[in-house]
Amino acid sequence: MVRATIIATITVLITVPALAQNLFVNPGFDIPDQLNGWTCTSSDGVPSWSPEDRMGSPSSGSLMHDVTAAVNNKTVWCWQCVPVNELWSYVASGWYYWPNDPDVSQLGSSRWSMYYYSDSDCTGSSTLGANVTGDHPMLDTWYHLETEETAAPTGAMSAVIYFITWQDIANEPVRARMDDLNFSTTTIFRDGFESSGVNVWSDSFP
């Protein structure tokens, strides 16, 4: 009976739904929100909302980037600032799509980039969390891209996650869509003993 109680207790702790909560606002670019919650750059192209949803939903869409720079290695990107807990581990992920469109080239890539910040509004000192780049060997295909798991450094209070479309060659415009973006923690317990104490832990058995 004692063993069964221990197993049940551990199971409850591991399957808490909040652990997988997506910290983004409007990660699926739904109607009528479209791009609400996202901040985007437009100096080298145009970020816009597309009605083409990854799962074909008529009530949702996706984020589209058109990069039209006249010089090499330019980007369009969108991002959100989200709260984090120091020493917790996080992963950013999402889906991207490069269309088979004769009006654009395929000379580019989709990239996710994550930075941690010491202040709650994504200001102060910054630390690189992770970068990841995805290619598109087949067009008209949705690809999943995920960063490595990284721990927010001591003192971190927020993070910025950039979703980027990269144009390699000047005057060779590129287009890509993104959908179902996610940023969530992989940490199960609130203190992994990094805090030099056990204050959040209990030594009593239910």
69 lies in which domain range?
17-185
User: Greater confidence, 140 or 189?
Assistant: 140
Q: What is the mean pLDDT of the segment spanning 130-144? A: 97
Number of H-type helices and E-type strands within the chain: 1, 11
Q: What pLDDT is attached to residue 2? A: 46
pLDDT band at 203 (very low <50, low <70, confident <90, very high): low
Bridge-partner residues for 153, per DSSP? Answer: none
Number of folded domains that form the chain: 1
SS3 category, 6: helix
Q: What is the mean pLDDT of the segment spanning 148-157? A: 97
Q: Where are the beta strands (DSSP E) in the chain?
A: 39-40, 45-50, 62-67, 74-83, 89-97, 108-117, 126-134, 142-146, 150-151, 158-167, 174-185
CA dist 24 and 178 (Å) reads 14
What would you measure as the largest C-alpha separation in the chain, in angstroms? Answer: 71
Q: Is residue 3 part of a domain?
A: no
Asked whether residue 82 carries a pLDDT value surpassing 60, the answer given is yes
Asked whether residue 86 carries a pLDDT value surpassing 70, the answer given is yes
Q: Is residue 45 part of a domain?
A: yes
Q: What is the pTM of this model?
A: 0.83
CATH of the domain at 90: 2.60.120.260
| % the chain with pLDDT above 70 | 82
